[in-house]
Structure formats: C-alpha cells, structure tokens
Amino acid sequence: MIGAGRVGAVLGSALRAAGHAVVGVSAVSEASVERASVLLPGVPVLEVPDVVERAELVLVAIPDDALPGLVSGLTETGAWQPGQLIVHTSGRFGWKVLEPAVSRGAIPLALHPAMTFTGTSLDLSRLVDCCFGVTAPGPVLPIAQALVVEMGAEPVVIDEKMRGLYHAALAHGSNHLVTLVAQALDLLRAAGVEDASRLLAPLLSASLDNSLRGGDNALTGPVARGDAGTLADHLRAIRATGERGEGTLETYRAMARATADRALASGRLQVASAEALLAALNTEPPE
C-alpha cells in the first residue's frame, strides 16, 4: 500500500479481508499513520521503496496530481519489478499513466471506487453497494475485475480514452451535490429553521431517487412550471440574506438556467415560458 489516506487504508483492509497478505504500507501524516494502525493492524509502516520491493501487488492511493511523478520517480530508481501488479485508484487516469512502470515489466491496472470515503471501517460495508471504474489492457482486464469482486464491489469497464469524462461526471454529480446541499442548508438556517437537515433530507432523498430512475422526467418545481415570478422572488430572497447567500445566488442562477435549457430541450417547457424564466434570471434583484 502506497498511501494510507481515506481510500488506500480502506481498500487495503478490504483486500486483506479477501485473503491477500498486506506486507507493508507507506504513511506520512499523523492521521494516515493512525488510520493504518486501525484499519491495517500489524502491517509495518515502511518507506515507499521498501513497500514496492516487498510486494507482488502495489496499490497506489495518492492524489491524482502526484501519481505521474511517483510512478516516474520509482521507475528511474529501478524499483518496479517484472510481473509486479501496479494498481492505482485515481479516477482521472487510466492505466497508461503507469507506462513507465510497464516499461520495466510491471502489469498496470486502474481501479477507481465510485464512492466517497470516511477512512473508517464504515466504508467497508459500503463497498458492497459500490462500483469501481476499471481500466486495464485487455489481457489483464479480468485480473482488475477479479480484485474488485474480491472487495465485494462491482467492476464497470471504462475505456482508457473516456477516463476524463467518466471522472468529470462523478465529480460533477457528487462534489457539486455537496455544495448545493450545503447552500440549501445555509438558506434554511437563515430562514430560521433550526433542524435544516431534518427538513431537507426526505426531499433530497426522493429527488435523487426519482432523478436516477427517470432523468429529466423527475423534474418538478418552478422551472418545470414556467413560474418566472417565483424565480424572481427566490433571487430577491437569497439576495436579502446578504453575504451568507452571495455565492448561492450565482449557483441558483446557473443551475436554474441549466435546468430551463434541459426542460426546453425535452419538451417539458414551452419557448415563451423559457424566455420569461431566462429574463427573470438575468434581472438583478434589488439590494
């Protein structure tokens, strides 16, 4: 294991539970050392070259931007071994980022868990409902798929050329959802709702479930109805929250425009109603 972050330590623990012997883990920060001790008890914390030297399979779970440099650096020192399996967990990259290691005879696999991690044992149970974006050369693709299945998850094959689009989709859906929810919670608290999450949770859960099942057909609310006056009132209300709603105002506008465009394209919204909505969204609310 290279990297005992939230992802690496959990996947290492899952592979260990599947019968793989974890012979070493690299951990630098105090938090990662603690995480390794909890999720990988008894596994020695080693320097990266020592981990690579001991292992038949090296799982690299580090930030995306650091991955190319680490692979190249270890290649220059002759660390990789012929026949060694090199697995990375980056969503951004496919297997070709590992080409320097491949030139030394290593076998490249890209396994990206489509899940957010807490870095605790709670994640191990969540792996059962999780999918992994899997990319590998054809002859070794079954190995990548088998490793995912061993961890209790489901492999989904992603073409090497489509990794960027795949990762953008996940980041847009997951990371930006966090921002939307946080902004909605802020507005509810500004409206005097003490337990904002309790009020919002059933609505968001139903909306997520409906949209996953029905896509654009799940749309409800003022945009779907063409209620330009309601949108204008929303903008005024958000503006009235002052600095607290400053960023939310632009997010609301951008999302409402995108929603109107999709509703128009799908035939759920008439042209005249869409024009009225866009006019409302382009009008600055009063201070």
Is residue 267 scored above 90 in pLDDT? Answer: no
Give me the percent of the chain exceeding a pLDDT of 90: 91
Query: What pLDDT is recorded for position 287?
Result: 64
Residue range 134-161: average pLDDT? 97
Q: How does pLDDT run across 224-251, given as a tens digit for each residue? A: 899 999 999 999 999 999 887 778 999 9
Do you know the residue count of the chain? 287
Query: What pLDDT is recorded for position 199?
Result: 97
Average pLDDT, the chain: 94
Confidence of residue 286 (pLDDT cuts 50, 70, 90): low
Is residue 5 scored above 80 in pLDDT? Answer: yes
Is residue 283 scored above 90 in pLDDT? Answer: no
Residue range 123-139: average pLDDT? 94
Q: How does pLDDT run across 118-130, given as a tens digit for each residue? A: 999 999 999 988 9
Check if the beta carbon of residue 182 is closer than 8 Å to that of residue 240.
no
Is residue 268 scored above 90 in pLDDT? Answer: no
72's CB contacts (< 8 A; 6+ apart) are 100
Q: How does pLDDT run across 189-201, given as a tens digit for each residue? A: 999 999 999 999 9
Enter the tokens of residue 146: 């088998």
Residue range 4-8: average pLDDT? 93
* H-type alpha helices, the chain: 6-17, 30-39, 48-54, 67-76, 99-102, 122-126, 141-150, 163-190, 196-214, 222-225, 228-239, 246-265, 271-281
Confidence of residue 166 (pLDDT cuts 50, 70, 90): very high
Enter the tokens of residue 216: 């654009």
Q: How does pLDDT run across 84-99, given as a tens digit for each residue? A: 999 999 999 999 999 9
2's CB contacts (< 8 A; 6+ apart) are 8, 25, 26, 48, 51, 52, 58, 59, 60, 61, 62, 70
